Structures are given as C-alpha cells and as structure tokens.
Amino acid sequence: MLRNKRSEALMALALIAPFIAIYGLVFVYPTIKLFMISFTDAPLIGDGTYVGFDNYTRLASDRRFDTALWNTAYFVLLSVVPGTLVAFSIALGVNRLAGRLQSFVLALFFLPYILPVSVVYLIWDWTLNFQFGIAMYVFDMLGIGRVPIFKATAWFIPAVAFITIWWTAGFSILLFLAGLRAIPGEIYEAASLDNAGRWATFARITWPLMWPITALVLTIQLILQLKIFDQVYLFSTGGRPNDNVVLVYYVFQRAFQSDQGGRAAAVAVVLFLIVIVVSVLNFQLTRLSRGNNR
Amino acid sequence: MPRIVTLAKCVALTVSLFASTAHAEENVVWWDFLSGGDGVRMKQMISDFNAAHQGKIKIDATTLEWGTPFYAKVQTSAAVGEAPDVMTYHASRIPLAVKQGILQEITADDWKAMGISKDDYASATWDAVTSDGKQYAVPLDTHPIVLYYNKDILKKAGLLTDDGKPKGLDSGENFTATLKALKEAGVKFPLGSVTADGNFMFRTIYSLMGQQDGELMTDGKFLTGDNGKKLENALAILQGWTKDGLQSSYTDYPATVALFTSGEAAMMINGVWEVPTMTDLHKNGKLFEWGAVELPVIFNHPSTYADSHTFAIPANKDKDMSADKRAAVLEVMSWMDKNSLFWATAGHIPAYGPVTASAEYKAMQPNSTYSTLTENMIFDPKSPLAGIAGPIFDVMSSSFVPTLNGEMEPAEAVEEIKAGLNDM
C-alpha cells in the first residue's frame, strides 16, 4: 500500500498539537514574557516602562542578592553530593536485605519522602525548637549547651540541608535500588570465582555499572536543590529571613512583598541561566568521567 | 418540537428565578484572613448579620491564609476583576494598596450612608486609613500589644500594687527592678518575649522608639538624625534583659505563649488577640489569675504600636459595582462596626468609639483596663514598604533576632538595619 506522506505528517501534527499548544501556553510564552519583564520596572501585575539592563546591573551591588547567591551555592554544596552518597550507601545496605525485611526497611527510608513540606517543617521544629524541642532536652542531659539551630546563621543552611537529605533521600534510594537490581548476578559470581574482595567488587563492578544512575541522581538533585524555597521559607519565618534568603526566596520577596515584578524577573532569569549552565556542565562532567572509567 | 418548548420554558424559569433572587437578596462576597480565635468570633458576627438581614443582604464569606498569601491573592484577583465585594485589610498595608490601585476610596457620601464619621474614631486610627487626604477603609478595631502578667506569681513576690497591676510600670529602671525581683523570687523567665521572631519584636521595639518620639521614617528617609540612636536605646534595654536572664531567649511565638500559660514566665508582651486564649483557659480552670495592662513606660512617655483591622472595597478592574451592591457593602461595614462589642471578646479594641464608650465594654476585663492605650497608639510609617509581612519587617527582623539574643551589638544592628532599609 502506498503511504501518503503528507497526510501522515498532518496526522502527526494534529496529534502533537495539543501538547505543543499547552507547552507553548504554560511554558514557552511565560518564559519569553519573563525575559521581557526583566527589562522593565513593572510591578507584580501590569506593565512597566523599559529600563534596559538596570535590573541586572543593580544586582551586582545588591547585598541581599549576594547573600541569596552564596546561600544557594552553600546549600547545593551541602545537599547534592552528600545526599547522593547517603542515598547510595543506604541503597547498598537495603539491597543486602531480602524479602519482607527489605520491604519494611525500604518503607522506613521512603516514608519521609511522602510527607508534605509543611509536615516536615513541623516535625523538625518540634525536634529542634530552642525552648521545647525534644533534641534540646537530650542536649541538656548530655550537658551540651542548647543551640538555636534555626535562628543562627552558622547552623541554618547546614540544618536545612540535613533535613532536605532526610526528606528526599527516599526517592534517590529507589532509583539506586532499581539500578543495583539491574546488575546481573553472574558478574558478581564471576568476580567471586576470581577471588575478588568486597572492596574490589564494589570499586570495579558496582560503582562503574551504577555510574549512569549516580549521574542521573546527581543531576536531578542539583536542579532540584538550586530551586530550593519551601524549607528555607518555612524555617526562617519570623527569624532572620534576610540572612537566610536563597535565590527563589529572593524572587518571592521582590515580587510578592515589594511588588517589583521587573526586579524579581531579573533574578529569576539569572537563576534560570545558572540552572542551565550548571546542569549542562554537570552532564558533560559526568559523561567525561564515565569515559575515564572505561 | 415539544421538547424544545419544554427546554425553553425551563431556561426561562431558571433565568427568572435567578433574576428574582438577585433582586430580592443582595449577595455580598466577603474575604477575610481571620482564622483561629478571632475567626470563630467573626463567623458568629457574619451569621448574626445574615440573620438580621434575612432576604435583603447575605454575606458569602471565605477565609484565606493570613499575610502575604492573602494580599497576593487580593492583588491578582483585583487585576482580573475577580476580587470580592468587601474584605478585611490591615491599615498598615493601605499605602501599598493605594500605590497598587486595588482599593476604592470610601467617599464622604459613603460615610454619610453608613452613618459613621471621623469623630467616631481615635485620630490615630482615622489617620491610619487615610492616604493623601482620602479614606480607603473602615476601621473595625485596633490591635495593639499589651503586657500580660501572672497575678499569682507577682502577688507572691510582693510585686502587685493595690489595684492589682505589676509594680514598676512607670520607668525603665523600675520595670527592670521588677524583673530582677521576680528572678530572685525563683521565676525562670520574669518576662516571656518572642525573641526568636523579629517580625513580632518589631511591635515591641517600635513602641519603645515611640516612647522616645523616635521615627522610623522621616520624609521618606529611614532613621534620620538621632532616630538611629533611639532604636539603639530600645535594642540595648531589651538585650540587657536577655543578658541578665530576665527574658526568655530564642523563643518563638507559640513557645512564648506556652511559657506564660504554663507559669514559667511571669509576664509576657503579646498582642491583645491572645486574650481569648487566656479567658478560655481560665474559664476551664486551667489558668492562674491573670491580667493585661498597657506596656510599661520604659522611656519618656507611654506609647504602643498598633495596627488596625479594617474593611475595604477592592477596585475590581473593568467591573463597576452596582449602586445596590455598594449600598449593601456599606451596610455590612457599618453594621459590623456598630456591633463590634462582640468582636471585643477576641481581645481587639473596637475602633468605633460609641462601642468602647458603652457601659457593656467598660465592664469587660481586662479589655477596658488596657483600652486606655488608645490615646498613645502609633501606627506603621506610611510607606508602601511598611505593613505586616512587608519588606521593612524582614529587614528589621533579620537584625533583631541576633541582637535580642546577644549575638550582635545594638549599634551594629542599627547600621545593618539602615543599610538594609536603604537597599530596599
């Protein structure tokens, strides 16, 4: 039968049209609009006049933007790689278990992931609250001075990073576990016949074979953590918001508190570019290092 | 064919039904941000209103999340003509709202229609809803902060005056002496203070600045002249209390209330909205004898920070309000003000003068004790940057927390705040 290429193309177009339309409406159009707004002095709602690169140039001397940038970088540093390693090691441990026990332990580690962020906030606030937190009573018993974790800048980001790892590790563990199960048992069998030790087996078989998964988890985590907002917002309510500010929080402050849509858009564009650059860089790096392992 | 006729009949019937109900009863869409104790009381008032206006006006109320979420929603909905007919609003947020153009003016005719005038309010309250000589809201209440105290503990320590108030309310030294005496009497925290929440402490610190006639904003400039010094004085005395162990450190809002109600803190500076908490606990026999008074005079003269819950009419874009609807909205606002005696049970001081002047209000305790502070109220500076959950709050909060807990020197904090405020 002859195929009518033209009608096939039309058919294909008709089939993807809904997606294109929705994608254009809720992603492409707002993104273009965001770039346009960032060159104006628009309020949160409505139009503004064109101000050129003003919104961008003033970021250079903006102290709060500086704080936000460094806090975000610090948070990414403390959460992405440690979070991935923690998830990997837990997955290795869970993988050694079998049957019901494995499901049970896996469920325990996965449980925090299903919690909404507000619940996570409440749980940890009850644990670490300076006056009534359970952990503080433990500190008292051990004779350690109480620490105002969420009110001290030195502790804030590390604590939020720790909580984020606790909260989101479950998903990464699942990915790692799926990867570990996909490694054929014969390879390990062959290795043990060759008298390979545990470390050698891990370093020569598990780690290289798991690398694509590790790279995937790293990339997902990186993009996710660059966009951190909820935890920081909740844990700093009423405390020291301007010392704990991160990039998305700063966008929120400019847009919704100060009613400066243009300046908020400029920060959002900067974040957008950072995410693109960092994730491309991350992808290239992980590809390169995989080449070395071969 | 018969089916079409039936259908047409149905449509006609529905339309006429809608039309007739719309004509008979004006539906007023209402948004507020009042949850918790005062929310319960407002719901009661709304149902009372609906009962009193059966068949004429009906309030269709929705409660939204307090703070930034509420105000962001109001702004976005007004921009697309979907805002309610009437809403609660903080007086401190009016300057920003006027700049955004989301409020309708309450005209002289409106005031006349409501039967309310300027003279029914304290001048500070009237001023708080005024922007460029025009009024943009109808004040419902003022909600200042007050000093709560545990009568049992103070009595035992011999620190109650004959009329049942704490000793040392007249000067900084005397009040500090009272705190010290409480400490010596073995009280863990003489003063429960929300030291972990700079947003909250803004109210206390701003009051203490007001006691020295300090201004946060003068002609659009922040902390000019010796105002910085006055802020430093306020911070210094509060920091001193922390350093001497006289007030609780790093305590957030719920913890402060808990410290006070559990008797670990003998006194507490908090908003009047906690009055129902105390009243209810006391009624159930779970609380000591307690009282609430105007803030102590730490500096030159009494002064207390207050904000005001008001009613405002949003300016819906491209959508005019019918005269009937506007009349209904005015009736809602006026009725609420005139019946705000019940609202006083939520702790707030009714803004409408005739209510606070009534014998019923004067019999309410501790409300009538602290309502004298109405004369000494100060409101936020009139700036789009001010107001609850606004940018000024965030700047100050970030420096208040370390200072009040002894991590940062007051002078350094003032410099930080100045820089932060100018960065906005």
In a domain, A13, yes or no: no
Q: What is the pLDDT of residue A132?
A: 85
Q: Which two tokens stand for residue A18?
A: 């809904």
The mean pLDDT of A56-63, rounded to a whole number, is: 91
Q: Indicate whether A3 pLDDT > 80.
A: no
Give the residue from chain B lying closest to A236, CA to CA.
B197
Q: What are B90's strand-pairing partners?
A: B309
How many beta carbons lie within 10 A of that of residue A49, not counting itself? 9
CB contact under 8 A, A238 and B196: yes
For residue A270, the distance in angstroms to the closest alpha carbon of chain B comes to 19
For residue B389, the distance in angstroms to the closest alpha carbon of chain A comes to 7
The mean pLDDT of B195-207, rounded to a whole number, is: 90
Give the residue from chain B lying closest to A263, CA to CA.
B424
- Tell me the pTM: 0.83
Give the residue from chain A lying closest to B93, CA to CA.
A257
The CATH number assigned to the domain holding B98 equals 3.40.190.10
pLDDT digits (tens, 9 = 90+) for A48-59: 899 999 999 999
The CATH number assigned to the domain holding A203 equals 1.10.3720.10
pLDDT digits (tens, 9 = 90+) for B412-424: 999 989 988 887 7
Residue predicted with more confidence, A95 or A1 = A95
For residue B397, the distance in angstroms to the closest alpha carbon of chain A comes to 6
Residues B244 and B320 in one domain: no
Residues B246 and B258 in one domain: yes
Segments forming the whole domain that contains residue A143? 61-293
Share of residues in chain B with pLDDT > 90 (%): 71
Residue predicted with more confidence, A187 or A288 = A187
B68, B259, B398 member nearest A131 (Cβ) = B259
Mean pLDDT of chain B: 90
Q: What is the pLDDT of residue A294?
A: 45
Q: Indicate whether B100 pLDDT > 90.
A: no
**Which residues touch A168 (CB under 8 Å, ≥6 apart)?**
A83, A112, A113, A221, A224
Q: Of B343, B362, B381, which residue constitutes the final position of a domain?
A: B362
CB contact under 8 A, B397 and A258: no
pLDDT digits (tens, 9 = 90+) for B9-66: 555 555 544 544 445 689 999 999 998 778 889 999 999 999 999 999 999 999 998 8
Residues B98 and B81 in one domain: yes
Q: What is the pLDDT of residue A87?
A: 95
Return the residue matching tokens 């009047």.
B272
In a domain, B384, yes or no: no
Rounded Cα gap, residues B272 and B304, in angstroms: 12
Residues in B 307-326 with any Cβ partner in A closer than 8 A: none
For residue B177, the distance in angstroms to the closest alpha carbon of chain A comes to 25
Whether the Cβ atoms of residue B409 and residue B236 lie closer than 8 Å to each other:
no
pLDDT digits (tens, 9 = 90+) for A141-153: 998 888 888 888 8
Return the residue matching tokens 């039936």.
B6
B40 touches A at CB < 8 Å:
no
In a domain, A48, yes or no: no
For residue A160, give the 3-state DSSP assignment: helix
CB contact under 8 A, A148 and B405: yes
Residues B114 and B155 in one domain: no
* CB < 8 Å to A241, chain B: 394, 397-398
How many beta carbons lie within 10 A of that of residue A74, not counting itself? 15
For residue A42, give the 3-state DSSP assignment: coil
In a domain, B116, yes or no: yes
- What is the domain count for chain B? 2
Segments forming the whole domain that contains residue B171? 144-306+390-423
Residues B124 and B247 in one domain: no
CB contact under 8 A, B398 and A240: yes
Residues B130 and B239 in one domain: no
Give the residue from chain A lying closest to B424, CA to CA.
A258
ipTM above 0.85, yes or no: no
In a domain, B376, yes or no: no
Q: Indicate whether B1 pLDDT > 50.
A: no
In a domain, A97, yes or no: yes
Q: What is the pLDDT of residue B20?
A: 47
CA distances from A293 to A22, A211, A243, A286 (A): 42, 9, 42, 11
* CB < 8 Å to A149, chain B: none
Residues B179 and B291 in one domain: yes
Residues B179 and B316 in one domain: no
Residues B286 and B175 in one domain: yes
The mean pLDDT of B189-206, rounded to a whole number, is: 91
In a domain, B354, yes or no: yes
In a domain, A11, yes or no: no
Q: What is the pLDDT of residue B387?
A: 82
Residues B27 and B6 in one domain: yes
In a domain, A9, yes or no: no
Give the residue from chain B lying closest to A152, CA to CA.
B402
The mean pLDDT of A194-209, rounded to a whole number, is: 90
Return the residue matching tokens 């007030």.
B247
Q: Indicate whether B131 pLDDT > 80.
A: yes
Residues B151 and B300 in one domain: yes
Give the residue from chain A lying closest to B408, CA to CA.
A152
- What is the domain count for chain A? 1
**Which residues touch B102 (CB under 8 Å, ≥6 apart)?**
B74, B75, B78, B79, B83, B314, B315
Q: What is the pLDDT of residue B8?
A: 58
Residue B254 banded pLDDT, cuts 50, 70, 90:
confident
Write the DSSP string, B321-368: PPHHHHHHHHHHHHHHHHTTTTGGGGTPEESSHHHHTSHHHHTSTTHH
Q: Indicate whether A290 pLDDT > 80.
A: no
The mean pLDDT of A205-213, rounded to a whole number, is: 91
Q: What is the pLDDT of residue A286?
A: 76
Residue B111 banded pLDDT, cuts 50, 70, 90:
very high
For residue A141, the distance in angstroms to the closest alpha carbon of chain B comes to 19
For residue B229, the distance in angstroms to the closest alpha carbon of chain A comes to 22
Residue A171 banded pLDDT, cuts 50, 70, 90:
very high
Q: What are B211's strand-pairing partners?
A: none
Rounded Cα gap, residues B304 and B296, in angstroms: 9
In a domain, B255, yes or no: yes
Residues B419 and B283 in one domain: yes
A46, A151, A259 member nearest B401 (Cβ) = A151
